[in-house]
Amino acid sequence: MQTAVFRSYGSPDVLKIETLEKPTPGDDEVLVKVRASSVNPVEWYTISGLFVARIGNGLISPKETRLGVDYAGVVEAVGRDVTQFKPGDEVFGARSGALAEYVCVRDFIFPKPASVTFEQAGGVAVAAITALQGLRDHGRLQAGQKVLINGASGGVGTFAVQIARALGAEVVGVCSPQNVELIRSLGADRVIDYTREDYTRDGRRYDLILDIAGSRPWRENKRILNPQGTYVIVGAPKSNPWIGPLEFIIKTRLAAWGASQKVIFFIANFKAEDFLVLTDLFESGQVKPVVDRVYSLSEISEAMRYLGTGHARGKIIVTMK
């Protein structure tokens, strides 16, 4: 089967397509023919060989050479203990190595809602689960509260704007000028174009800031947070070649020492019940995945290069055709 592989660290050019053996499902596994997957910043950090990523995956060359997490596809075969799925079922979920024609899945596999296409479902897992957990679990966002989403137009942000609306919050999104209409169309009550307006200086205050971009220091974010508000860091600039976004996270945690507001950084973790929450949101029409560009697997380097610009407009999808 065709699989995206990187055998050394470096630019997106290190990504190659190799023919690897098609996996065979174990007794409790489902073999899925992948129709669509996506690229996430975590893969960009992994292939670029950021020092902290090398600690877990080999200092000189990568031990785990496959990429991808999100997938959507069709069940091709099931192990003998699997009762929930059968060949032909349309599914989506999360599995490492998903940038490939096939994956064997045990845990994170769910019926694909009819309301989303394979391309839409193939970009859900990392970004939408992150948005949901950031707002609901770490930000404890309640109906009627005010949330500012900085970095509203990317993979995580486009889900976050819609999920925050579905939770009943008043949503302000921050993005570049070309994405203002998109964010408004996703339900934001107000959209701030960061090239024209400084979101930390317009006098508004928030119960929660979901910071996906990490473009402003804590002292500026602090002044627009209510005294009991929460600042949730999702992502930050890639600028530090050794520790990447950790530089921003560490600086923020130190600067916020003793503040009345809560400062939280989290790494999303997959839970089956959260995929079911997302399924309900898709089926009810409250959330619709936003697809930016669609690449084929053979164009994986281009997809990763585009992701590296840091200006995706929704999800960047990779199809296995």
Ligand X SMILES: NC(=O)c1ccc[n+]([C@@H]2O[C@H](COP(=O)([O-])OP(=O)(O)OC[C@H]3O[C@@H](n4cnc5c(N)ncnc54)[C@H](OP(=O)(O)O)[C@@H]3O)[C@@H](O)[C@H]2O)c1
E strands of 39-128, at which residues?
70-78, 90-94, 102-105, 109-111
* Nearer CB in complex with ligand X: 75/236: 236
Q: Which residue is nearest to ligand X (CB)?
A: 154
Interface with ligand X: number of residues (CB under 6 A): 32
Choose among 22, 123, 26: nearest CA to 72: 123
How many whole angstroms separate alpha carbon 302 and alpha carbon 217? 32
* Torsion of the alpha carbons at 190, 195, 198 and 202, rounded to the nearest 10: -40
Choose among 28, 29, 35: nearest CA to 74: 35
Q: Which stretch binds ligand X (CB under 6 A): 21-29, 60-68, 154-162, 277-285?
A: 154-162
- The answer to the question of residue 253 lying near ligand X (CB under 6 A) is no
Nearest distance from C-beta of residue 195 to ligand X, angstroms: 9
- The answer to the question of residue 105 lying near ligand X (CB under 6 A) is no
* Nearer CB in complex with ligand X: 150/301: 150
**Interactions with ligand X, residue window 64-93 (CB under 6 A):** none
How many whole angstroms separate alpha carbon 47 and alpha carbon 62? 8
Single out the residue of 135, 210, 268, 294 in contact with ligand X (rule: CB under 6 A). 268
Single out the residue of 235, 248, 278, 319 in contact with ligand X (rule: CB under 6 A). 235
* Residue 259 φ then ψ, to 5°: -70, 155
- Token pair belonging to 176: 């570049």
How many whole angstroms separate alpha carbon 255 and alpha carbon 73? 45
Q: Which stretch binds ligand X (CB under 6 A): 10-18, 86-94, 113-121, 233-241?
A: 233-241
Binding residues for ligand X, rule: CB under 6 A, are 40-42, 126-127, 130, 150-151, 153-157, 174-176, 179, 194, 212-213, 215, 234-236, 245, 266-268, 307, 310-312
